[in-house]
């Protein structure tokens, strides 16, 4: 049937009685000492990829889009008038920021975040 509340073992008798009353009337109860832990867990568990995606530069996004479309580093360099080493640097930055290391992971990320569609519309 599921849980309707959470109380810690060290809770005072009054807290236990209060929790029982809250749950009996159909509400949820979480012991106050758990509130901060639950709040922190929710915020800490946000994926690094989601947080770091906001820090990508326009050039990194452009390179990610081209990588996802199957361009090699050399083709990207030619397309953007960059050196292959510069493209490699941007790719390393992408991998570091997103925590993704293979081309497949980068392509999946680009697809998931609509970066391929954005490129096609331009």
What is residue 122's predicted lDDT score, i.e. its pLDDT? 44
Cβ-based burial of 75 (10 A; exposed 0-12, middle 13-18, buried ≥19): middle
Q: Which two tokens stand for residue 119?
A: 């490129």
Q: Which two tokens stand for residue 108?
A: 């999946």
pTM above 0.85, yes or no: no
- 19: pLDDT strictly greater than 90: no
Cβ-based burial of 93 (10 A; exposed 0-12, middle 13-18, buried ≥19): middle
- 45: pLDDT strictly greater than 50: no
Tens of pLDDT along 78-90? 999 999 999 999 9
Q: Answer with the residue of higher pLDDT: 115 or 65.
A: 65
Q: Which of 47, 2, 50, 38 is nearest to 23 (CA)?
A: 2
Confidence of residue 38 (pLDDT cuts 50, 70, 90): low
Mind listing the domains of the chain with CATH numbers? Answer: 5-45 (no CATH), 50-121 (1.10.10.10)
């Amino acid at each position: 049937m599921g849980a309707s509340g959470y109380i810690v073992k060290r809770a005072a008798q009054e807290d236990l009685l209060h929790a029982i009353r809250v749950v009996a009337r159909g509400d949820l109860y979480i012991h106050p000492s758990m509130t901060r832990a639950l709040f922190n867990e929710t915020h800490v568990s946000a994926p690094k990829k989601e947080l770091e995606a906001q820090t990508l530069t326009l050039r990194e996004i452009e390179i990610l889009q081209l990588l996802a479309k199957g361009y090699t580093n050399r083709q990207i360099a030619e397309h953007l008038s960059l050196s292959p080493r510069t493209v490699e640097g941007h790719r390393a930055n992408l991998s570091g920021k997103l925590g993704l290391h293979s081309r497949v992971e980068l392509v999946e990320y680009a697809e998931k975040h609509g970066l391929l569609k954005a490129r096609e519309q331009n």
